[in-house]
A and B are shown apart, each in its own frame.
Chain A
Amino acid sequence: MKFEGRCWRFGDNIPTDRLVKTQYVFEPMEILVQHVLEDLNPEFPKQVRPGDVVFAGKHFGQSSGRAIATKALQATGIGCVVAETFARTFYRNCFEVGLPALEVGLNPGFAADGDRVRVDLTTGEFTNLTTQTMIRGAAADPFLVEMLEAGGLISLAKSRPEVFR
């Protein structure tokens, strides 16, 4: 699974409350998607394009475990989310809703806003095409890749119910 696009860079310790603010939790997805991460970068919800890559620092997606934050990020059309480390419920939610996620460890300054980047989820490689540098993260567990290929957890459970019976 490979993704290539423009990089949107965010910092450390970003909570899900900043992906989807409390006051929007009950709004329909078409409203949510207009506000994703707007406090941290007002251009993001306006300028993000399908296939772009969100690249954050440590403990991305901490705080509330509600999957709506993951879904709103997915609904922007990004191809993949990469972080130094993820908060675990957020990481789990990414695969369960079908949003590819790659954890790459410590890499301050590796890619900046607007750089072209490529992510290969199978090998764990994250390449900055603008600066021609590459780092290798942890390839996702095969169970999670299977979940992504099925289109998320619910699709997996429907296609292979014996796993959960």
Chain B
Amino acid sequence: MNLVEKILARASGRESVEPGEIVVAKVDRLIMHDLSGYLTSQVYEKRVNTPIPDPERVVMVFDHHFAPPTEQQADVLRHNRQWARKHGLTLYDCGNGNLHHAAVRNGHIKPGMIVVGSDSHTPVHGTLGALAVALGNDSHAGTVLPYGKAWFKVPETTRVHLEGTPQPGVTPRDVALWLVGRIGEGELNYRAVEFGGPYVRGLSFWDRWLFPLLCVDLGAKCSFVEPDEVTEAFVRTLPGAGPDLLVRGDGGEAAQVLRFDVGEVGVQVACPPTVGNVKPVGAVAGTPVQYAELGGHGGGRLEDFRAAAEVLAGHRVHPDVRFHLVPSSREVFAEAAREGLVLALHEAGAMWFPPSTGSNQAYNMGALASDEAMISTHARNFPGRNGSPDASMYLASSETVAASAVAGVIAGRTA
């Protein structure tokens, strides 16, 4: 059995499981943000409404809001707070960061766990060697909250084996975007995707994070990187108990193996209208942008701000561009301050926002007019995602986003 099968077998009290079987398994963590939490609470209060036996397993993070801009949104947050308090759920209020980063940084996610959430990027927690799956609000309300369990179909596994050495200037984010273009959106429907090979093994924890993040756009159910010494060292930096659930596969079980040489990859930009419309940066270089942003579920890591500070050294943000910096967690902002990145990027003309998902879906900020364009580290670029459906959203690495903020047009980083 591989990691996913082992986790499902253990959590469903079985010796073994096979792809295609449906099992009911014990869930270790339910994570919700302010929108999914609200929708789940509505279903729970109206249709289930019993005490929640294990409220400490449930973590809610307000991340689409960092401060509600309307009365209606304030009401949503007030409702969520009251609901969390009534049932004793763990709540991280506005300003703590985006759901996934805040849950990890505060020690709620560990290897070997089953993690569920209705945010579609929940599978990103497979970076820690957890089985992390996005479920709908009815699953959370109907089975996870009252019984601590959920049903799962055991997925077949595809291993994405990455080897080779990237060209100078090509980042893990470029490799991840390139893979969506090469494999194709939805092409790994219902599968568990394992990212492995010497390239992945050689990456730091937060660079590995960029790969399971994108698996949902490949259509996958979940994604993972098998825990190793990098995972273990990272988990030791988190609050709470150590990685005592490290699960490893028996090797060689993937039903399908896709091999790629990362040496083929150039600097990439995902263009409208979907994440899979990936092009070399040269194909769209020169396109004017009015907004650039390091944030969303795909960005706001310390690594992103370090990269931006390097690109901006000796330069200023172009006068036609608003460059948003959105830390993924309070811990990242604190570290960015200690490293001097906060002042350096501020003085170069960028704008800091509170830890959150930033302009993702424009709940607080970052709505686009019909003829405007944004380049960002966000995870999504669907039409209408941020304001007008006629606006253009481009996704790229933090280096490309920062270089574009300086140029006022989409631009690759120059040496």
Residues of A within 8 A of B (CB): 13, 15, 17-18, 21-22, 25-26, 39, 58-59, 62-68, 70, 85-89, 92-93, 96-97, 141, 143, 152-154, 157, 161, 163-165
Contacts and interface: CB of A to CB of B under 8 A. Distances in A.
Interface size class of B (residues with CB under 8 A): 35 or more
Given A66-B118, A67-B137, A143-B151, A88 B38 contact: no
B385 A65 contact: no
B138 A67 contact: yes
B361 interface: yes
A64 B120 contact: yes
Nearest to A59: B186
B39 A67 contact: yes
Contacts, number: 127
A88 B362 contact: no
Contacts of A64: 119-120
| A-B pairs with lowest CB-CB distance, top 3 | A59-B186, A67-B136, A154-B142
A67 to B, nearest CB: 4
Contacts of B361: 17, 22
B185 A153 contact: no
Interface of B: 22, 24, 35-36, 38-39, 43, 47-48, 72-73, 76, 118-120, 122, 134-139, 141-143, 146-147, 149, 151, 153, 185-186, 189-190, 216-217, 219-221, 274, 276, 361-363, 380, 382-385, 389
B389 A62 contact: no
B142 A17 contact: no
Contacts of B363: 22
B382 A68 contact: no
A88 B137 contact: no
A65 B48 contact: no
Contacts of B135: 65, 89, 92
Contact of B189 (A59, A66, A70, A164): A59
Contacts of A68: 39, 137
A64 B379 CA distance: 11
B362 A13 contact: no
Given A22-B363, A66-B118, A17 B22 contact: no
A141 to B, nearest CB: 7
Contacts of A21: 384
A39 B390 CA distance: 11
Nearest to A152: B138
Given A15-B380, A39-B383, 11 more contacts: A15-B274, A21-B384, A22-B362, A26-B73, A63-B120, A65-B36, A66-B137, A70-B136, A85-B219, A88-B221, A153-B138
B38 A63 contact: no
A157 B139 CA distance: 10
